[in-house]
Structures are given as structure tokens and as C-alpha cells.
Amino acid sequence: MRTGISETICTMKTRLGCLSNKSDSYNDFSEFLPPALSTDEVVRWSESFDQLISHKYGLPAFRTFLKTEFSDENIEFWMACEEYKKLKSSTKLLSKANKIFKEFIDVQAPREINLDYRTRERTKQSLADPTPNSLNEAQAKIYSLMEKDSYPRFLRSKMYQDIVNRAHAQGQRRSV
């Protein structure tokens, strides 16, 4: 009996330790950064949220950061919407719309995003007869939320600072 309690306490301490370090607990991010990423490219990410998420390596860096913050559902929803807009077939639109709704938009969805009631209801109505633009309003709300909340935290994070420093150090080595 005593061993079970000790194991439980140890497990809880480990989990709490992970949570307390969550925003700087990213793993090696080199998997998505090329060796020749320039300081200018990385610094440009700080100029606008759009610069970050439209960059080939900025988006994976931001996704990794959001995973450490336990809020990657926002970027995953945004990316799903980007893919959804590219669909041409009404059958595929309907299928993907249902999948996105069940995963992100529906109340109590497994990866529920933070939408106000009005936006959620209008999106639900729009998805009854889906078009490539059916998710635009919800996507814009989540984009704005990430831009105002997650993006500034990303720029202040140890992860982003490490990426900048690494790019700078690589630039120094190349110029020598």
C-alpha cells in the first residue's frame, strides 16, 4: 500500500514539474530548421504574425511552441481551414467541414477552440451547406486570438530567442 502512494506522489511531482516548465520545455527544434536559416529571416518573423506563419520554418517553430503551451489546437484549426479552402469537390467540402466541426468547433469537441457563441452558431449554420468560405469567420477569430495572445508570447519565449541566437551564430561562422 505504501509503495503505491509513493509511486503516485512521484508521478504527480514529475507531471507538475513538466507543467511548471511548460513554456520553455520544447525539445530539440533543429528538426524543422535548416542549417542555413539566416538571422534576417528569423528576425522578420517578429515583424508580423503573417510573416511568421507564412514562412516555411516559422510555422513549424510556432506549432512547436504552441504544443509546449498546450494550445496547439488554434494553429491546427487554422491550418485545417487553409486546407479546407483549397477543396473544390462539394463532397470533400462536406466531409472536411464535418470533420473540422467535430474536432474543433462543436461544444465539447476534443480540441475545442475558443469561439464566442455567435461565431460558433453562424459557423454551424454556414456548414449546413458548406462552401470554401464557410469557416472564414471562425478562422479569422482564431487568427486574431493567436496574433494578439500566442504570437507575443512566442516572440518573448526562450525558444524564439534560441532560434535567433542560433541563426546569428551560424551567420557568424559563415562570414569567418
**DSSP letters along 89-140, please?**
-HHHHHHHHHHHIIIIISTT-TT-----HHHHHHHHHHTTS--TTTTHHHHH
**C-alpha cell belonging to residue 34:** 535548416
pLDDT of residue 176: 45
Assign domain 37-174 to its CATH superfamily.
Regulator of G-protein Signalling 4, domain 2 (1.10.167.10)
> What pLDDT does 167 receive?
86
Q: What's at 106, amino acid-wise?
A: D
Residue-level pLDDT, tens digit, the chain, 176 residues? 444 444 433 333 333 333 334 444 455 555 556 667 888 999 999 999 999 999 999 999 999 999 999 989 999 999 999 999 999 999 999 999 999 999 999 999 999 999 999 999 999 999 999 999 999 999 999 999 999 999 999 999 999 999 999 888 877 665 54
Return the pLDDT at 94: 96
CA-based R_g, the chain, Å? 20
pLDDT at 119: 97
Q: Check residue 38 and give its pLDDT.
A: 86
Asked if 26 and 65 touch (Cβ cutoff 8 Å), the reply is: yes
Are residues 170 and 37 in contact, defined by beta-carbon separation less than 8 angstroms? Answer: yes
57 vs 29: CA distance, rounded Å: 10
The closest of 47, 46, 31 to 157, measured between CA atoms, is 46
Res 33: pLDDT = 65
pLDDT at 28: 55
What is the per-residue pLDDT for 168? 85
Task: Please tell me the predicted confidence (pLDDT) of residue 32.
Answer: 59
For residue 31, give Cα distances in angstroms to 28, 43, 60, 62, 154.
Answer: 7, 19, 10, 13, 18
Count of CB atoms within 10 A of residue 166's CB? 17
